[in-house]
Each structure stands twice: as structure tokens, then as C-alpha cells.
Amino acid sequence: MKTVLVYLPLEPRHREKLEAAGAGCRFLYTLPGEDVDALLPQAEIIIGNVPPAKLNKAEKLELMQLNSSGAAEYAAPGVLRPGVRLVNATGAYGRSVAEHALAATLMLQKNLHLYRDSQRQARWTDFGKVGSIAGSVVAVVGLGDIGLRYARMAKALGAYTIGLKRRAGERPEGVDELRRTDELMEVLTRADVVASFLPGTKDTEHLYTLEHFKAMKDSAIFLNCGRGNAVDGQVLYEALSKGLIAAASVDVTDPEPLPESSPLWGLDNLLLTPHVSGGYHLYETFETIIDIASKNLAAYLSGGELVNIVDFATGYRK
């Protein structure tokens, strides 16, 4: 009998689903933010993002199912004991984050952020010419589940899509052109929209430098719905305040929450949201997390194949 620790805000039907998948297991439940220290030494399977710093107490741990797509901090050396299987929730956040990014794209192209600001000040102002996603070149940096969904929606609206990923491979449906991430600089010179969905790893930290923004069109739009540390806040501020690019939308910042003293708050050409594109804001997201966790739990107990296995060497799903 395995002991399963669930670190998620469940409703009764979620418990029923997990317990059906883990028939015969002993289940321990707690909520994120609550003290979990006393439960960790008993846990052989964990479902939910228990803080990495606490996992040294999970001496019996065999399987860790994350409720996030990002896994880098759990894949870092020394966080989990050797032999522990790590799986993430890739597939749960795709629709929510991709739709948020698409909405931000259209909002910036049509100057809707500026009109909203004018409405607050009761100003009847025409902000002039707008862009269109149809016929635009959209570069999607990070072609995982979220990035691919965004690319497919942009293409459906008439964009030419360029997907960038670490390794070359078969070009997926919805992507007109597939390039490697190390070709980013050349792609930036062509893009009207640059949408970043990169996970947080040592290779992606501060990936976008001022030189990258200088390479972009001054009419281009930049979006970041991956991790905030992909671009330094001061670099983004310079790019926007100096007109190196036309506008940006970021759902993630470094640090989070963004300090009140940050100059980013005052930029008219920045749409800033407080890391809300994902989370559980869309109903189906949490339901999909429970589906993934249930399937992996049943598969692990029966010796079946797990989904969303994380590669400890890269922090990405294999």
C-alpha cells in the first residue's frame, strides 16, 4: 500500500477520481501553503508542487507529480533523491495561456490598451493606424504545448508562423517554418510579433538582451507568457521607452510581484498582467491537472507508462 500525499485544493469529486486511480493507497491531503512537514516523511507519491526546499524530508518518495508545466526547480541537483520519477502537468495550461497571449496580441495591434486608458480619463482620442495579425510574421519562441497552440491560432487568423525550439525536428501542423532557438537573432529581424513561452532554466535566463530588441522591427510586438527571468526588466524598459519595439505584453516578471518602484508600470506601450494567464483561472485547467495526475498514478501503480516525464538534465518534459 503506497502513501499518496496530495498538495492541491481539491473538491470531493477530485478526491474520488484520484482515489479510484489509486485504489488501495493511503491518501493524505493538505492545501498549498499549509504546514506539510509532518506528512512528507510518509509520502511515497506526491501530487502537487510541495516547495522544493522541503522535499529533503520526503525520504520515501518514489514519484512526484507536479501541478505545473515548469519543472526546472524540481529537476535541479539535490532537490529530489536519485531514482525519484518526476512528471509535470504539460497539456493543462495550453488553452488558457495561449488564448491570453492571442488576446494580448490583438489588443496591442489594435491599440485597445490605449483606448482603455483614454476611457479612464474621459478622452475621445484617435490613436491612428493599427496592425493586423493576418499577413504578419509571428515568431513563437518555445514550441511546447502552449506555444504550439498559440501558433496554430495565429496561423488560423492568417499569420505566417515561425516556431523556434532547441532541437530541429519534424515541423508540426500550424507552423510554417521551424527553426532552432540558436537562430533567434535572425528570426527576430523578420517578426512582427515575438511570443515567448520559454520555461525557466539556466539557458533561458536573460535570453533576450538589448541587442535582441535592437534587431527587431520598431513596429514589432513582444509577448512573454513563459518565465519572467527570460528578459531583464531594465532591458525591457529601455526597449519600450526608446521605441526599439512598438509594444509589449508580459504576464510574468522578475521578480514577482513586480515592485511598485519599477518603471515598467508607467509605460503606455506595455500591457502588464500579474501572472494570471495560467493558474486555475480557466475551469478546464485544474480538471486537466487531475486527469493527468490520475492517469499517472494508475500507471505507476500498475507498472504502466507515465506521461510528461521530466528530463533532469534539461528541466523539460522528455
Neighbours of 239 (CB within 10 A): 23
Residue 201, pLDDT above cutoff 90: no
Parallel/antiparallel/unpaired status of strands 270-272 and 63-65: unpaired
> Is the Cβ–Cβ distance between 180 and 137 less than 8 Å?
no
Answer for the pair 51, 181: CB distance below 8 angstroms, yes or no.
Answer: no
**Average pLDDT in the 208-225 region?**
98
Cα–Cα distance measured from residue 174 to residue 153, given in angstroms and rounded to the nearest whole number: 8
d(CA 202, CA 233): 17
Shared domain for 143 and 263, answered yes or no, is yes
Q: What is the 3-state secondary structure (H, E, C) of 21-78?
A: HCCCCEEEEECCCCCCCCCHHHCCEEECCCCHHHHHHCCCCCEEECCCCCCHHHHCCC
Tens digit of each residue's pLDDT (9 = 90 or more) over 6-22: 999 999 999 999 999 99
Specify whether 186 is located in the same domain as 115.
yes
pLDDT of residue 315: 85
Task: Clarify whether residues 149 and 241 are in a common domain.
Answer: yes
Q: pLDDT tens digit string along 107-116? A: 999 999 999 9
Q: How many CB atoms lie within 10 A of CB 135?
A: 11
What range does the domain containing 9 cover? Answer: 3-92+282-302
Q: Is the pLDDT of residue 203 over 90?
A: no
Average pLDDT over the chain, rounded to an integer: 97
- Together in a domain, 145 and 232: yes
CA atoms within 13 A on the CB side of 182: 3
Q: Is the pLDDT of residue 167 over 90?
A: no
What's the confidence (pLDDT) of residue 66?
A: 98
310 found inside a domain: no
What average pLDDT does the segment 208-218 reach? 98
| Cα angle for residues 79, 82, 88 (degrees, 5° grid) | 60
Q: Is 36 a domain residue?
A: yes
State the average pLDDT over residues 232-261. Answer: 97
Number of domains composing the chain: 2
Instruction: Assess contact for 138 and 192: CB atoms under 8 A.
Output: yes
Say if residues 295 and 21 touch (Cβ distance below 8 Å).
yes
Residues 288 and 95 sit within 8 Å (Cβ to Cβ): no
Residue 249 has pLDDT above 90, yes or no: yes
108 and 200 both lie in a single domain:
yes
Q: In the prediction, which pLDDT does 117 show?
A: 96
- Do 200 and 87 reside in the same domain of the chain? no
Classified as helix, coil or strand, 227 is coil
What confidence score (pLDDT) does residue 168 get?
A: 80
pLDDT at 316 over 90: no
225 pLDDT more than 90 = yes
Catalytic residues: 227, 256, 275
Identify the CATH number of the domain in which residue 47 sits: 3.40.50.720
Compute the average pLDDT of residues 50-65: 98
Alpha helix positions (H), the chain: 12-21, 72-75, 94-109, 112-120, 145-156, 184-188, 210-215, 233-241, 283-302
6-11 contact pairs (CB < 8 A, 24+): 6/30, 6/46, 6/47, 6/48, 7/31, 7/32, 7/36, 7/46, 7/47, 7/48, 7/49, 7/50, 8/32, 8/47, 8/48, 8/67, 8/289, 10/290
**What is residue 202's predicted lDDT score, i.e. its pLDDT?**
85
Q: For residue 232, tell me if it sits in a domain.
A: yes
The 3-state DSSP class for residue 6 equals: strand
The distance in angstroms from the start CA to the end CA of the chain is 29
Mean pLDDT calculated for residue range 186-195: 98
Q: Is 302 helix (H, G, I), strand (E, B) or coil?
A: helix
Q: How far apart are CA 47 and CA 50, in angstroms?
A: 8
Report residue 184: phi and psi, to 5°. -55, -45
Are residue 39 and residue 158 in the same domain, yes or no?
no
For residues 84 and 179, state if they share a domain. no
**Whether residue 14 is found in the same domain as residue 115:** no
Mean pLDDT of 48-57: 98
Helix (H, G, I), strand (E, B) or coil at 153: helix
Mean pLDDT throughout 273-291? 97
Amino acid identity, position 7: Y
* Residue 114 CA: distances (Å) to CA of 121, 125, 196, 261, 273: 11, 9, 23, 22, 15
In the predicted model, is pLDDT for residue 314 greater than 90?
no
55 lies in the same domain as 101: no
The verdict on 177 and 249 lying in the same domain is: yes
Phi, psi (degrees; rounded to nearest 5) at 152? -65, -35
> Coil, strand or helix: which one is 315?
coil
Whether the per-residue pLDDT at 142 is higher than 90: the answer is yes
Residues 134 and 245 in one domain: yes
**The whole model's pTM is what?**
0.94
> Would you say residue 277 lies in a domain?
no
